[in-house]
Amino acid sequence: MHDFHYRGRELFCESVPIREITKKTGTPVFIYSTKTLVDHIKKIQRAFRSVQPIICYSMKANSNLAVLKTLVREGAGLDIVSGGELYRAKKTGCDPKKIVYAGVGKTNREIEEAIRYGILFFNVESVPELKAIERVAIRLRKKANVSLRVNPGVDPQTHDHIATGKAESKFGLEIGTAKKIFLNRNEFPALRFCGIHVHIGSQILSGKPFVEAFWKVLSLIDELEKEGLEIQFLNLGGGLGVIYSDENPQTADEFAKNILPLFKGRRFKLVFEPGRFIAANAGILAAQVLHVKETKLKNFAIIDAAMNDLIRPTLYDAYHEVWPLVKSETASKKNYDIVGPICESGDFLAKDRHLQELREGDHLALMTSGAYGFVMSSNYNSRPRAAEVLVKGKSFFVVRKREIYSSLVNGESTPKFLAKRK
């Protein structure tokens, strides 16, 4: 599952005590395990080894360059959703033929950069987007590879904010619209229609929604093949769930067992876009207790991490387990709300947790923070963003320095008229 564990009373990442890291970096700090990242991508590679898919890690989950390079070295491609993510992909040395480009709103500049770099294909979500890619490709005198993202109208039974396969979602094309585009593909001479993409959401625990969605897509492929079209790639997206609390998600092996029979005898190449499955349990957010506030109704542990560092609890009401960096054998237990110092009622990291009695200066770990943690952080309340650390065996490396106050005003300027004294 992950490589965070106790040795005696002390919490370790692989073979490094977390306290050793926090002493060097301070808190809050995101800490990632190389071994967990590698183990998780290998689980998918092994589960689907019979079909040799292209596995494009979804970098929106965690886009630190050290994390990306770790996965690219293991054979991963990358799923990107912006020009900035393409920039990062280039920095990793990822083979452009293992890069797929999703997102509902790509700018002309982003499209041009991706075509010039020679990515595998764009995941296209609308007719206007197709037209935009066509215009850029014509101007560049190049052919652009596109895969149409279909919306199968399937409820993935996850949080509404991360459900993308429902009929009312902004993502993808209705199946009938997609079929019409394929049949009229000659209207886009600068585009090469090479695949179909389907992604129904994130943190999906059951195999049933996947199977339902994939059957609908296969029916579309059957109809297209009868018309003489050949689908080169079927991109199945991501969405595999992980354990945050008491969930019981399917394993990679179970997922493969559920879906591989659907594709037996098919000629297309499968593409996967896992993100959370690889990164979530590979990371924690370590923080320090600033104050303990006790009231008649609640006990609050006010820590130096906040919603600007980890917004998932505020945004999704998400659950992250809270572990002490050092377990006490004698401390009594109390219920706490773990909250940050930001001036918002929504600034909480965990609610009503039964933990060992906390004191000022204690350190805590917010578990399963490797995905949608730092990448969603901000400078709200003018708070510098946290440091990031990668652990490998007995060693650890600061892979992003903590921001300092001067970082907060980089790029800002004051008009001359404001410099004049009244």
Given a cut of 90, whether residue 167 has pLDDT beyond it is no
Confidence label for 340 from pLDDT (cuts 50, 70 and 90): very high
State the catalytic residue, choosing from 13, 56, 94, 343.
Answer: 343
Q: Give pLDDT, residue 399.
A: 98
DSSP for 278-317 reads HHGGGEEEEEEEEEEEE-SS-EEEEES--TTT--HHHHH-
Q: Residue for token digits 């659950």?
A: 319
Given a cut of 90, whether residue 201 has pLDDT beyond it is no
Confidence label for 1 from pLDDT (cuts 50, 70 and 90): low
Given a cut of 60, whether residue 169 has pLDDT beyond it is no
Residue 13 annotated to the active site:
no
Longest distance between any two alpha carbons in the chain, whole Å: 79
Confidence label for 170 from pLDDT (cuts 50, 70 and 90): low
Q: Give pLDDT, residue 239.
A: 74
Whether 4-31+280-409 and 103-272 share one fold: the answer is no
Residues in contact with 165: Cβ distance below 8 Å, sequence separation at least 6, in sequence order: 151, 152, 153, 154, 155, 156, 171, 172, 198, 199, 200, 201, 209, 213
User: How high is the mean pLDDT of the chain?
Assistant: 91
Structural tokens at position 209: 């929604």
In tens, the pLDDT along 236-246 reads 887 777 777 76
Other beta carbons within 10 angstroms of residue 145's beta carbon come to 22
User: Can you tell me the distance from the alpha carbon of 321 to that of 310, in angstroms, rounded to the nearest whole number?
Assistant: 13
Structural tokens at position 159: 């949080």
Given a cut of 90, whether residue 304 has pLDDT beyond it is yes
Q: Give pLDDT, residue 210.
A: 75
Confidence label for 154 from pLDDT (cuts 50, 70 and 90): low
Segment 410-421 shows an average pLDDT of 88
Confidence label for 164 from pLDDT (cuts 50, 70 and 90): very low
> Measured between alpha carbons, how far apart are the two ends of the chain, in Å?
63
User: Can you tell me the distance from the alpha carbon of 212 to that of 153, in angstroms, rounded to the nearest whole number?
Assistant: 10
Q: Give pLDDT, residue 237.
A: 86
Confidence label for 255 from pLDDT (cuts 50, 70 and 90): confident
Q: Where are the domains of the chain?
A: 4-31+280-409, 103-272
Structural tokens at position 123: 């995941």
User: Can you tell me the distance from the alpha carbon of 417 to that of 402, in angstroms, rounded to the nearest whole number?
Assistant: 34
Segment 185-209 shows an average pLDDT of 81
CA-nearest of 6, 60, 73, 7 to 34 is 73
Q: Give pLDDT, residue 209.
A: 75
Superfamily of domain 103-272: Alanine racemase (3.20.20.10)
**Bridge partners (DSSP) listed for residue 264:** none
Confidence label for 165 from pLDDT (cuts 50, 70 and 90): very low
Q: What is the CA radius of gyration of the chain?
A: 23
Q: Give pLDDT, residue 18.
A: 98
pLDDT above 70 covers a percentage of the chain that reads 93
Structural tokens at position 247: 């969930």
CATH 2.40.37.10 applies to domain 4-31+280-409: yes
Which comes out higher in pLDDT, residue 366 or 218?
366
In tens, the pLDDT along 367-411 reads 999 999 999 999 999 999 999 999 999 999 999 999 999 999 999
Residues in the chain: 422
Using DSSP bridges, classify how beta strands 269-272 and 54-58 pair: parallel, antiparallel or unpaired: parallel
For residue 358, count CB atoms less than 10 angstroms from its CB and return exposed for 0-12, middle for 13-18, buried for 19 or more.
buried
Confidence label for 48 from pLDDT (cuts 50, 70 and 90): very high
Q: Give pLDDT, residue 155.
A: 56
Q: Residue for token digits 């990107």?
A: 80
Structural tokens at position 379: 């400078």
